Amino acid sequence: MPLLPRQPHWNVFAGIPPMSQPPVGQAPVRWVALHGLAGVPSPNTLPATPQNRQQVASLCRNPNIDVLHGYVCAMAWGGQGNRDKNHVTNAWAANQVLVPILTQIRGAALPRITAYKLFLSGSRSNLIPGLGPSFFSKLLYFFGPKPSPTQLPPYAQPPCYVVDNQVLKSLTLLTGLPFMQAATPGGYQAACETIDAMATMLQCSAQDLEERLFDRHRGHWRRYRNLHLANYQRQNYVLTMHAAFPNIPVREF
């Protein structure tokens, strides 16, 4: 990470005890029924209770399970459709576009930028209608290389992390860099590199660090972060991010 975390924000963040993430979202079988999705592979074996990260990842990374079966479990976990149900049906209508993408992610450890760009069209718009970065980064995490629960970065095969708006807001406050202003391939790699670096500083797994940045429990950290982002001043995203991460080509921001 090019910059030391900003104080006093880092001390506040580091001082909040981590909390294990319980099962979240909806039971996949209920989520599929709620949205009326047809053609889900092996519907009779969909979990009937909400799943935790490890359970969803084991389904998505299992080569003997259809990738679309894993996809609906990941989306049920992440709450796709909570704000707009059309996102669910629009993305499912393009599920045959998803199949080779998810198969490729599952089958190989791709560079983070390469994996991210599989979900983008040539103009950088979302390739799958209704499936934006907050959700396809979940797919990168669940289908990609398994992060070690104990090994600290650097990794032989760098894993991908869930990088949604909540994580980007936390990174913005902790680094002073404009992570939350845009979602780009370079920004995703920069976020993952920063998560790796912060995990090393706290001597925890990067997955645990990412969960703490998100703060699903909407606890002290999220309240503190939102209060201190209230007066955030916008910056030149491309120039600022490339200056901080010169290893990432400027065209990727």
Domain residue spans in the chain?
21-144, 147-253
CB 168 within 8 A of CB 134: no
* Cross-strand bridge partners of residue 120: 126
Question: How far is 66 from 72, CA to CA, in rounded Å?
Answer: 11
CB atoms within 10 A of CB 153: 19
pTM across the whole model? 0.93
Query: What is the Cα 139 distance to its own chain's centre?
Result: 8
Residue 148, pLDDT > 80, answer no
Mean pLDDT, the chain, rounded, equals 92
pLDDT in tens, 176-229: 999 999 999 999 999 999 999 999 999 998 889 999 999 876 689 999 999 999
**What confidence tier does 2 reach under pLDDT thresholds 50, 70, 90?**
low
**What confidence tier does 123 reach under pLDDT thresholds 50, 70, 90?**
confident
Residue 152, pLDDT > 90, answer no
Task: Report the pLDDT value the prediction gives residue 156, as an integer from 0 to 100.
Answer: 64
Run of H or E including 62:
none
Closest by Cα among 60, 152, 146 to 109: 146
Which residues lie closer than 8 Å to 20 by C-beta, 6 or more apart?
none
Q: Can you tell me the mean pLDDT for 112-125?
A: 92
Site of tokens 């909400």: 50
Q: Which two tokens stand for residue 42?
A: 């092996």
Output the DSSP codes for 75-95. HHHHTTTSS-HHHHHHHHHTH
Question: How far is 168 from 221, CA to CA, in rounded Å?
Answer: 14
Q: Which two tokens stand for residue 25?
A: 């979202």
Query: Could you give the 3-state DSSP secondary structure of residue 226?
Result: helix
Q: Can you tell me the mean pLDDT for 152-177?
A: 88
Output the DSSP codes for 1-37. --SPPPTTHHHHHHTSPP-----BS--HHHHHHHHT-
